Structure 1
Amino acid sequence: MPGRPSRHYECMSGGIIGGKTVVELRVHGVSGTPPESLLDCPKELLHQQYGDARAGTYRRARWIDDTISPPEPGTWRRLMEVYSWGGLTSGKASRAVWVLFLPFTLINLAHWMLPPVARRRPAVVVVALLRLLALSFTLTLLLAMVVVFLDITAWQCGSLDFCSAGRGPLAFLQERSTGVRLAVAAVPLVVVIVALWIFGREQTGPKVCGALPPHAVVERGHCTPLAAQSFWNFDPSVRRLRACHVTAWTAGLGAVLLAAPVKYTHSGLVGWVNVALLTVHLVVLGLMVLATASTTITGRGGDPPRAGVHRAVMTLRGAAIGILAVSLVWVGRYGGIPDVPPDITLPALYPAIDWLAGTQVVLLVAVFAGTWLSIRGGSIAATKGGEHYRPTLKGFTGPFVALTAWLLGGGVSVGFGLWAGQILGTLAFTGKDAVDALEARAVTLHTPAGLFEDRVAAVTEPARLVVPVPYIWTAAAVVLLIAAALVIGLYLWVGVYRVRRSAIRAALRCPPPGEDRPAEPCPVEQLAPNVVEEKITRSRALASLTDLAPRVIATLAALGFVLILAIATAYCLRPTASVWRQATTTFIAGAPVAIVIGLVAVVVAAVRNRQVRRLVAILWDVATFWPEANHPLTPPSYGGRTVWDLRARMDELMRQTTDPHTGAPVENRVVLVAHSQGTIIAAAALLQCHKPHEQYPLLTFGSPLRRLYARNFPAYFGRNAMMTLKHRVRHEPRWINLWALSDPIGSWVSNDRPVYAPESPAQTSMWEVPLHTDCRILDVAQTNPDAGEYDMCPTGPICGHSGFWHRREFDKAMSVLQAVVTTGAVDTRAVARPGPEAM
């Protein structure tokens, strides 16, 4: 077992007690369920056994368990322990700010969604292309902030006294030179990249020295990389990739700043300095693009580069920051920008936006083509039983997620730009519109005094501020996408949900023999009450829609891509058409602005309210389980820390031989119990358990292992990984997975046939379940188990995703698994039900 984390809490007053103990080690799911809820115990009566303030295991105070279940020599008793990891994703209020950088997280997630490949070379190229696409996202954010701060605020509004008047700092800057305004407006952009750099360096997992992680490309038929001990090891390539992004940001910012001085002053000493500084920034930016594309320098796993390459990348980052500081001072003091520049917009900015958008389109098309080439040459599903593990979207889930990230990043960037334009003035999409507005204003102000009303209107009319032309493409596409989403939602409700409800209701009225009823005929008088039937049909139909989510998202993403290209092509063919001026209406521009305002509102609410922050953390629970691969300026991964903690704690419990307080001999056994996202953590931990004593029984429920992870992350949780896990945890059968048809997240893992009904000879006995692993439980608990599925409590709750803790099937499954590791009866009086917050 590798070394433990730096902070480790030894067993205290709630620790291991003398005697024989079966430890029910519970792992919660998403949203950071607190340990007091899982143990049904006040927080002040909990004692931490292992970990730190963000993640660790907890038990109730020792006297509570001793009072309920007194230890007796030679007898077994079951005690509960909870592994709480919610503090890693929903603990800090600052974590909510990462919502604004969701495209960074999605492009990182796209890497792990790539399928196992048949051809290695195209797959290596795809991985490199995704890194380049991630770097372009960083530059997209940079240019979006340049539009807001440098172009709209400092260059356009700052040069118009009627725009900047009465706006505090902006009015103060309006009295300064254009160079000073640009240099001051660039400071927030420097602050943003420094903040992302600092927060991106945070690491939640242990720093393990040794081998590098497995290679980023997973070939078909190979074992899952999750089983490798080095999978969660720290990879120095992440540091180099982070340095590339920070350096590219600083070099890109410097190049945009120096474009104006070079345009207006490119001769003499000042002109030579302008050109030299611009050239240095462009060269550095080009080097960072090449370094990002290099698999040796920034690719995850594989052979590391020479030490000199690592030092060169880090040194260049520091040099780029220093050169940017020099450029800021130079532009503000000596750049040679005229106080009244003739250009309406910041020089070279809008062509840079056009070139970046075009490059991203090419990269996205190349990612799809490379993925197709890498998987060409056979089915990507296993030949036997693999149809249920077939990757979603035929293996193109990763590229579609990258496309979704591109659309989302572009939409957010457009929203911020349009929002800034609307706050400071009104929108114009061409410089001609802005010039015409200024000329009309000047003519009106010089009219005879009798036209007083026109003069007042001209004075109070807001300034026309130009925004990039691609913003109109994106804004129009957003409006059309919203309409398409509404149409698809209506279709899902009318054409899918209602049809499935009818089919499920018909199946409930007379289910086939051996599944939902005994083999005898289905008499009408044994039907479930209407209220129960309605609850079951509604919950099952809603749960089944989860499987359609990837196709719906992919359809909207592809539609958005086509719309943007079509609108851009139409604009290029008729750039002066009146329709483009009509597109400046509040309705078109308001769609992306409303999205941005909504995101900002969510961030503010999450920072101020922990419950909202827990809901936001559900996204991070899925996305940040994986290490950083494509984009290094993302929330830190918690996967390595949680997998480490579970293995270390279970190993410690199994190795414990004496009570640390009394010195009495102890004997411990562990049954791992995991719910929802906790099953992903448990599976990853057990895949790395290779020692003989690391044979832990596993109880999972509400598990997305096959439904969401095996199909969307096929290279890591595919069928081969599930079969490996199944044999890893069963020296003899010792894995039970409970699932229900009303669960929208969890599902079966390897067998959807067994159905558990207590005391019914036609159904599966819980003692037989480990042979199949899976066991479907009924959606509503039965009043009388002997009556089969049709004797249900009319007021009973639907199992759904979180109702497993309170079902008798949970107790039965635990009894079966504890019998695998113990002999004789086990005292279970100290076992408590989790509270309603358990997820």
Structure 2
Amino acid sequence: MELLVHGVGGTTPEKMLGDPRTVRVTGDDTAAVFRRAEDAGPPEAPDDATTGGRSRGEPVREAYVWCNLTSGNGSRALWLLLLPFMVVNLAHWMRPAAPDRTRTVRLYGLLVRLVALSLTVLLVAAACEVALDLVAWQCAGATACSGRHSWLAFLSPAGHGWWSAPGRRLALAALVPTALTALLWYLSHRTWSAYESHRPMARTPEADPNAGALASPGFWYGRRLGARLRAAHTAAGLLTVAAALTFPTLRHDHHPALLHTLGLLLGAALLGWALTVVLVVCRRGRSEARLDSRTDRHLVRGLPLGALALLLLAALYAGWSRPGRHSAGRLPGDPVFSTLMLIQGVLAVALAVVAYDLYRRDPDPRAAMRGLGGPAVALLACALGGVASGGVAQRVADWLDGTRSSLSGPPVTLTWQASAIPPLLVVLLATTGLLAARVARLARVERERVRDQHPGEPEDPARTRAIARTRAMAGLTDRAPLLLAVVAVTTLLFGAAALTGSLTTGLPPARAAHGADEPVRIAAETAQALGSWLVGLGLLLFVTWGRRAYKDASARRTIGILWDVGTFWPRAAHPFAPPCYAERAVPDLTWRTATWTERTGGRLVLSGHSQGSVLVAAAAWQLTPATRERVALLTYGSPLERLYGRWFPAHFGPDALAALHRDIGPWTNLYRRTDPIGGPLRVPGEPQVDHEPLADPRAYGRTPEHPLPAPILGHSDYQDDPAFARARAHLLARLHPGLPAQRPADREGEEPPD
């Protein structure tokens, strides 16, 4: 049998199997295995007792369709707004390979979890800044601003209503960040139940240490850590809202002494509970060596409930009547955002030190950025969170106040962060220009190679240029580490400059540059204005793209591709990241492969394209050694080494792939030089895994076999290449041809399917 697994973007079982009539063998509407109707047999027959494929001398083919795990629902397009959480979760899995440095590996995971926790606090603090400071404190407290927005009339002091008291306005506005935190908790809990709660097959751990964590029984079941992190991040969000209510009010409460004392006690309780949250995040990482189904029920329930109780007390404390209090200026938010920015920078630098220490112990020349990819990605996540927070705050302030300058505006730190976007874009455009020049040079070199590969054929300059340009563009994938390095270094430098500028001047960039030279002043004003508009435009494009996905299937598939790549890994660092589809797909493939081989004793080829090749490799790691020997791998257009091996060396590095090659049955990998995603696996050992590069296009000019111009396929249509059928037949021939026949318990008179 051949079990086909599609790649990014998804497809239909009819297209995978080449037949308009398909039936579902097992699975549900989210992910399922399909066969052609003629291979399925009568309804009363077991799914492995079929004859359709054998009558043609071919293996029975099944298609595992998992696209609905990522792009089936249009509402999932709005998960683009959780991009910083997804990015920081990737940083957890990008550490260098260091099997003998257990403590350092744990420290790496701890630092990433702390960065992820700071992002949650940053998001909720930004929501508090918009709702509590800009809307309830500044705009509702200023008659000129509230008069322009009728929906704020009941909060205005001019109306002398019950909600016009500053503390009560703050308590009411706190519902917005509280609802945001509750929504994130709900989405995290709901998606875990829908996608990640499927238990893998129970088995003993691998004896081979080189097999890596992907062979561990508990790798694809992070229930315990997920529940702990979800409780801790929810509590952190609620405590952030409570702190936004308590500490500004405490600054006002010097008299009467009773309220001041209550405020001090409440502030101490908030700090103590926040320390508990940090300890919970630091206390335990992933437990992969065994299938851990515990949930720490008391901790999971008690941590957010305690934070919610403190939030209610903070709302009562802030809303208590204080006749002499009025809103002026802005709430003290600058120290919060400056401290968060400093903490994130220190954590990113510490993470880089730890990652380099891991890398130098066992250097891998193919690892991206010399093992510093994880810290760079973590820094990028912090930059995305900070820039989005600053841009949204600035845009809301401009919308509320216009050009009348009746509001103090957002904290200076956020304005400086948003102002860093234009110079960062200039650096990115310059780097893109350099990469474009490199592509042009590579294309000229490739034109000579194309001519040399087709001697004696009439020269077609346009055809030669098209092939050479496609090969050169495909090589850009290998330059991604350079682009990320430039972004990370630039982000760190501009972030440090923004933090220094906000702390030293205490003014927005445009006002801080008033006394400077004319070019400096114009540059500062332009950066501040463009920064807020660019972030607002980016968020508008995200929301528009998400709304379009409800009606446009092609847009939904495009968005799904982003999540296919970014959400393969479990939520080990941030529980509010989009769900991991592999925690459903890998157990599905493992169960199907193991149960079919046990029932039939037949030969099975796991055939994966693109991201599907990563899934079949992960499923093969989860099989028992005895089952693994009876399974062959056929990968094509595979990013296993080119992307995953370079960016995630601890899990897909050369040692891990070599260990899988030793334990699995025969393995063949197909690739093209024009493919921007797939590539050779470079797995050491015999027999060789990598097939020679497939010709693309299959014919340079017109031939009797190709009377019309053959297309340049790149990453698609590998199964249509004649080399695919030859490779599959070769694998089946090499896959233990002397295996015993089907067991007596199966249907009598039938041979085991191939």
Structure 1 pair 527–686 and aligned structure 2 pair: CA distance change class (3 A): farther
Report what 2:251 is aligned to: 263
Secondary structure of the residue that 2:570 maps to in structure 1? coil
Alpha-carbon contact 2:14-2:22 (below 8 Å) kept: yes
Structure 1 pair 467–796 and aligned structure 2 pair: CA distance change class (3 A): same
Question: Structure 1 residue 678 and structure 2 residue 665: aligned?
Answer: no
Structure 1 pair 727–562 and aligned structure 2 pair: CA distance change class (3 A): same
Where do 1:81-96 residues align within 5 Å?
81-96=62-77
TM-superposed deviation, 1:116: 1.4
Alpha-carbon contact 1:212-1:234 (below 8 Å) kept: no
**Deviation per residue, 1:370-397 (Å, 9 max, x gap):** 22233334x422xxxxx5xx21100111
TM-superposed deviation, 1:644: 1.1
Give the partner amino acid of 1:750: R
Alpha-carbon contact 2:216-2:289 (below 8 Å) kept: no
Structure 1 pair 223–71 and aligned structure 2 pair: CA distance change class (3 A): closer
Structure 1 residues without counterparts, runs of 5 or longer: 1-22, 382-386, 428-460, 511-515, 658-666, 754-768, 825-839
Distance 1:308 1:645 in 2: 23
Aligned counterpart in structure 1 of residue 640 of structure 2, from 689, 700, 705: 705
Report what 1:122 is aligned to: 104
Bigger mean CA deviation after superposition, 318-327 or 162-171? 162-171
TM-superposed deviation, 1:313: 5.5
Identity of aligned residues (%): 31
Distance 2:66 2:402 in 1: 48
Aligned counterpart in structure 2 of residue 739 of structure 1, from 648, 658, 671: 671
Report what 1:589 is aligned to: 532
Aligned counterpart in structure 1 of residue 311 of structure 2, from 324, 328, 331: 324
Distance 1:330 1:278 in 2: 11
Secondary structure of the residue that 1:376 maps to in structure 2? helix
Distance 2:430 2:676 in 1: 22
Give the partner amino acid of 1:26: L
Alpha-carbon contact 1:205-1:641 (below 8 Å) kept: yes
Report what 1:200 is aligned to: 188
TM-superposed deviation, 1:140: 0.6
Where do 1:556-567 residues align within 5 Å?
556-567=487-498
TM-superposed deviation, 1:63: 8.0
Where do 1:220-619 residues align within 5 Å?
222-266=210-254, 267-294=256-283, 296=284, 298=285, 300-301=287-288, 311-312=298-299, 314-332=301-319, 334=320, 336=322, 338=324, 340-341=326-327, 343-346=328-331, 348-377=332-361, 379-381=362-364, 387=365, 390-426=366-402, 461=404, 463-494=406-437, 496-510=438-452, 516=453, 522=455, 525-526=456-457, 529-570=460-501, 572-573=503-504, 576-578=512-514, 583-584=524-525, 586-619=529-562
Distance 2:706 2:703 in 1: 11
TM-superposed deviation, 1:592: 2.5
Structure 1 runs, 4 residues or longer, greater than 6 Å off: 63-66, 72-75, 209-215, 302-305, 307-310, 783-787, 791-794
Give the partner amino acid of 2:196: G
TM-superposed deviation, 1:30: 0.8
TM-superposed deviation, 1:126: 2.2
TM-superposed deviation, 1:123: 3.2
Aligned counterpart in structure 1 of residue 693 of structure 2, from 776, 786, 801: 776
Where do 1:101-140 residues align within 5 Å?
101-117=82-98, 119-140=101-122
Report what 2:136 is aligned to: 154
Structure 1 pair 354–64 and aligned structure 2 pair: CA distance change class (3 A): closer
Distance 2:302 2:201 in 1: 25
Structure 1 pair 727–136 and aligned structure 2 pair: CA distance change class (3 A): same
Aligned counterpart in structure 2 of residue 804 of structure 1, from 715, 718, 723: 718
**Deviation per residue, 1:420-452 (Å, 9 max, x gap):** 11211147xxxxxxxxxxxxxxxxxxxxxxxxx
TM-superposed deviation, 1:616: 1.3
Give the partner amino acid of 2:495: I
Distance 1:73 1:238 in 2: 46
TM-superposed deviation, 1:544: 0.3
TM-superposed deviation, 1:235: 3.9
TM-superposed deviation, 1:246: 0.8
Aligned counterpart in structure 2 of residue 78 of structure 1, from 59, 63, 66: 59
Alpha-carbon contact 1:686-1:728 (below 8 Å) kept: no
Structure 1 pair 301–277 and aligned structure 2 pair: CA distance change class (3 A): farther
Distance 1:335 1:138 in 2: 32
Alpha-carbon contact 1:213-1:235 (below 8 Å) kept: no
Where do 1:169-188 residues align within 5 Å?
169-174=151-156, 175=159, 176-188=164-176
Instruction: Decide which structure has the larger Cα Rg and report it.
Output: 1
Give the partner amino acid of 2:487: L
Give the partner amino acid of 2:580: S
TM-superposed deviation, 1:340: 2.2
Secondary structure of the residue that 2:60 maps to in structure 1? strand
- Normalization by structure 2: what TM-score? 0.86
Distance 1:654 1:303 in 2: 24
TM-superposed deviation, 1:771: 4.2
Structure 2 residues without counterparts, runs of 5 or longer: 43-49, 507-511, 739-754
Alpha-carbon contact 2:203-2:217 (below 8 Å) kept: no
Structure 1 pair 723–479 and aligned structure 2 pair: CA distance change class (3 A): same
TM-superposed deviation, 1:270: 2.8
Q: Root-mean-square deviation (CA), in Å?
A: 3.3
Structure 1 pair 73–581 and aligned structure 2 pair: CA distance change class (3 A): closer
TM-superposed deviation, 1:77: 4.1
Question: Structure 1 residue 627 and structure 2 residue 570: aligned?
Answer: yes
**Deviation per residue, 1:52-98 (Å, 9 max, x gap):** 111110123238999xx975998844332110111111122332222
Bigger mean CA deviation after superposition, 243-252 or 320-329? 320-329
Report what 1:829 is aligned to: none
Distance 1:33 1:122 in 2: 42
Alpha-carbon contact 2:246-2:318 (below 8 Å) kept: yes
TM-superposed deviation, 1:742: 0.2
More helix by share: 2
Alpha-carbon contact 2:235-2:304 (below 8 Å) kept: yes
Aligned counterpart in structure 2 of residue 46 of structure 1, from 22, 25, 34: 22
Alpha-carbon contact 1:89-1:638 (below 8 Å) kept: yes
Give the partner amino acid of 1:336: R
Distance 1:138 1:170 in 2: 28
Distance 1:569 1:339 in 2: 33
Alpha-carbon contact 1:751-1:774 (below 8 Å) kept: no
Distance 1:587 1:719 in 2: 45
Secondary structure of the residue that 1:776 maps to in structure 2? coil
Secondary structure of the residue that 2:95 maps to in structure 1? coil
TM-superposed deviation, 1:608: 4.2
Bigger mean CA deviation after superposition, 192-201 or 770-779? 770-779
